[in-house]
Structure 1
Amino acid sequence: MWNLVRVLRLGLGLIVLTAVALGLFVHHVGVPEPLLRHITAQLENRGWAVTFSRLRLRWYRGVVAEGLHLCRVEAPHRGQLFAEDAEVLLDWPALLSGRLQLNELRVRSGRLVLAVPGPSQTNLNEPDARGLGSARNRGAGYDKRIGLAKPGPMLWFNDIHGQVRFHSDAVWELHNLRACCLGAHLQAAGVLKHAAGLAHWPWLTPTGRVTEAQRARYHAVWQWLRGLQFDRPPELSLQFNIDGLRTNWVQAALRLTTAQVSWANGTASNLSLHVQLEPPAEPTALPTAQVQFQAAMCRAGPVQVSGLDGQARCQLPIEPTLPVSSSVELWLARLDTPRLHASDLNLRARLASSGTNGWPRVSAIEAVAAQLRCPWAEARRVQLTSRLEHGATNFLPARCALEL
C-alpha cells in the first residue's frame, strides 16, 4: 500500500515538474514553432498580415506578442497597427480543434497609422517644425518602416492603450481606449459591427471615386489641423456604435475641450465642442450631425468675437461631398472688425445643396443685432434678411435678394 502511495506521489511530482519546466520554456523561449505557424496562417487566411519579434505564453496574461505589426493583406497602406506589447486571449478549445478564435486583445504602447483622402503628391508624415504632425508629436518611437505603400496624408494615433473584445457575431467591443492624436488626449469606447465593411465606405477610401477637387479640400483641412497649437493637450472623448455593412448607420458622440488653441491667423480660448451623429429612422435616409460649440473669445485675422455660442445641424451624404442640407445659428455677445462693431448679434443660415457636386443651391441668411456701429453710422435693433441662389459650379450667388 505504501509503495503505491510513493509511486503516485513520485508520478505527481514528475507531472508538476514537467509542467513547470514547460511553462518556463514557453515563457522564456516562446511559443513552439508549429503553434506559431498555425496562428500566423489562420490570421493570413482571414486577410491579416502579422509580424512580431517574439510570441510568449504567460499563465497570467495569455499569449503576449512583442513588437507586433498588424495590417490588412490587400491594403496595407490604409492602416497599420504597431504595438510594443499586446496580450491576446485565445479560445484554447477552438485552437486545439484547428480554429483560431480571438476573445480579447489588449494593447500597450501602440501606434495606429490610418490613411486619409488627400492629394497623391502630399504626405503629411513629413516632419513639420511647428505643426502637430511633427516628429516631436509622433513620439520618440517613430518607425521609418511605415514608408506605406502609397504616399499620402496619414493620421497618427500614438501611445495607444486599450482592449478590444471579439464576439462570435462579427462584433468588436472597444473598452477604455486611450491615445494621443493631433496633440489631443483621446478616450474612446464603443461597438463596431462588421469591421471589414469599412473598407468599402466612400468617406474612408483614399482613392477611387474621390475627385481631385475633393482631395484638395481634404488636404486643406488636414494642413489646417496640422497647424493647430494648444497651450496644453486638449481632452477629447468619443463614444460610438457603427455597422460597417450600412454606410448610413453611424451613432457617435464626440466632445472636445481646451483652454487655448491657435492657428495660422487666429486663436480661441475656453473652447468646447460637442458633435452628435445619429443614424436615420428610415433605412434609405441620410444620417444627421448636430454640432454645439462655445468659446469665450475667438479671433481670425482682424475679426474678433466675444461670447460665442453656436449650433449647427446637417444631413451627411454617403459620398464624400458637402452636406446635403444644413442650418447654422450663432449668438455673439460682441463682434469687432476694423470698420464694424456689433453687440448681441444673432446669425442664422440655412443651406440646401445639390445632390451632384455638393455646391449649395439656395442659402438663406438672417442677422439681428441689438446695436450696430460703423464709422459713418450707428443703429439699434438692426435686422437683415437675404436669400441667395447660387451657380451650378461654385458658391458665387447667381441671384440675390436682400431685406433690411
Structure 2
Amino acid sequence: MAQAGPSTALKGLRVLDLTRVRAGPTCVRIFADFGADVIKVESPAGFDPNENMSGPRLGYDMQNLHRNKRSLAINLKTAEGKAILMRLVEGADLLVENFRPDVKDRLGLDFETLHRVNPRLILVSISGFGQSGPYRTRAGFDQIAQGMGGMMAVTGLPGQGPVRAGIALADSSAGLYGAVGALVALQERAVSGKGQWVQTSLLEAQIAMMDFQAARYLVEGSVPPQAGNDHPYQTPMGVYRTRDGAINLGVGGEEQWRSFCRAVGRAEWGTDSRYDSTEKRFERRPELRQMIEERLSQADSADWLAVMEQHSVPAGPIYGVDEMFDDPQVRHLGIARPLAHPQLGAIRVVGQPVTLSRTPCAVTEPTPAAGQHNEAILAELGYDEAGLARLRANGVI
C-alpha cells in the first residue's frame, strides 16, 4: 500500500546519519522510509578525500540509498562543526555510523562520549570486522567479507574456484542487522529509559547469512562444497535447461517429486525405488539431471512453467533485471517506487520489501544536495542569519 505523504510509522524519531557507501546507508534508509527525521551529516564539498566513494551524487546508487533525508554539510574537523553535531546529539534518538573503530574514536564519536551528552542515545556502529579484536582497524569492504565469511567458497560451479555473489550481500545484510538491533534497542529504551551501543560488522553479517551452510559445519563438522546452481542436498532443485533457455525448479518432498514426475509426463519416475527418497535422488543427481533435461528440452520454458503451475510444482523463470521489473507480480507489489527529482526528472528507486497495513513505508523525497537543509536544521538549533554567515566565513558549513 503506497501513500502520498511520508510514513508515520517512525514519526518523532530523529536519526543522525554519519554513514557512507552501503552498509550504513542501508540501515538508515529503513528509518527514513518509515518516517523518521533523518539528518545526513556530511562534509562540505572538497573537505573529505573519500567523498565520492558512493559514486556521483546524481548517480543511481546515491539516489537509491539516501532518499527521504535532510542534508547538513558541516566540517567536523572544526571545533564549531563538532559542537553543532553534539547539539544535534542532545536531541537525537539514533546515531548511525560506519567509520573504522579507530577513526570513530579519533573523532570523539565513541559511545562513552556520546552517552555522556545524551544518555538516551542509541549508537549504531557498523564496521568491517567488529569494534574489538585483532582486525578492528582494518578497512572492510563487501567482497573481503564475502571471502572471509565463507560465501565465496560455496558459490559457483564445483571446482570453479571462489566466486563472489552478484550483489553486496555482506554490506546489505550488515545494514539490515544494524536496523534490527536499533529497533530492539529502541524497544528496550522504552522500558529502561537508557540508550545503548548496537554493533554489527560485515564479517558477522556474512557469517550469519551463511545460516544452514555454517550450521552444517558447526553441528556436523562437514565443510560445504560448491554446488553451482544445484541445491546442496535436494534434487531436482536448481537450474534446468529447456528447449529455449532454462528454468528454476524447486522440488522438495516426496509428494512434490511425484507431482513433478506427472507434470513432465513421467509418472513412473515417482514410483521408481531408485528415486523414492531425498537421499536416493541426491546420490543419483547426475543421472536424474540428464533424464530431466532430456524431457524438458522438448518444450520452451514458458510452456513448462505453465505445466508446473498446473501441478503445483515450485518453479520459476530466470530473469534479467529488466524482465524482473516487468513481471506482473513485481508490478503488482509496487517495489519499484516512483520519485520526482528536480534534476533527473521522473525516476524509480527500490522500495522496502515489507508492508505495514496502517503505516506503510513511503518514498517521497529524492536524495538531497549536500548541505541542502543547512539553514533549516541550524535554525532549529537557534542560529540566525548572522550566525549562519559566521559559520560560512569560518569554513564550518
Same fold (TM over 0.5): no
Larger Rg: 1
- Pairwise TM-score range, normalised by the shorter structure: under 0.3
TM-score, reference length from structure 2 = 0.23
More helix per residue: 1 or 2?
Answer: 2
